Chain A
């Protein structure tokens, strides 16, 4: 297609009326979407042969799509030849599956007992106050989601705050601003992952 040609693209953009620009964006999204489904097909092919791998497939699907919308659930059900109700039953049972999109950064406060007795609740309160959202919600700009998480097993460092996969041990309400700023600055938290 002409649009994909670099030199051709310049000409076309000049010639195209303004209203057509969003269409191109849609096209890109469409592309992205079909790539996601192609990845999904690979995952299903990999695991469909084994019995009882639905949870694994859903975990992989969540990695690909970020969450599990009904469309994806229906797609998996069709490919595995099982009822959608069964897939949905599993998705809604386990807390690691999300049916709503999450923010770029998920800030999770560990609510294990060790963290709780060392002030996890104060940490959570400060987080809610700072981002002005409630537990389980996402900021309107789609950057942060806050949630409480089950014990991550690093009780020696309680209380624990996690930004995506990154663990902040012995976190205090005072540090929250700094952590949020670090994420905001786009200094990807993932970079610090070891």
Chain B
């Protein structure tokens, strides 16, 4: 990227589920351990609230720290909007970057919900290189597209995608 302007990434998916079910799948540990890379989230759902993502046993086996992602809740409007900082602790380079800013928006209509992730990764090139995915999910290269695709499978069929 050549310009110094904000670096914003946008991901959107349509899921046949209620806004509340999607909200729970994003914010409740019993849900987050069931899809994508797993691991339990801990959210204090209010402005200034604490957030972290606990490593799954598999992540720990790769030598990742107990709290793999740190952050702070900036805005919580269940089940519609969640704004938070998001600072993955995967590598020393990522730890050295400033926290990114993540927004989840859930809009309901005609029996489905649209989930939009807007990820402001300005000044965080390592995170900007990781979250678009495009690599092998088994090696950690799934990114948001794979995470959202897996979330959709779980909520619509009750099961994860076969891997």
- The answer to whether A binds B is no
- Which residues of B does A touch, CB under 8 Å? none
Which residues of A are interface residues toward B (Cβ below 8 A)?
A: none
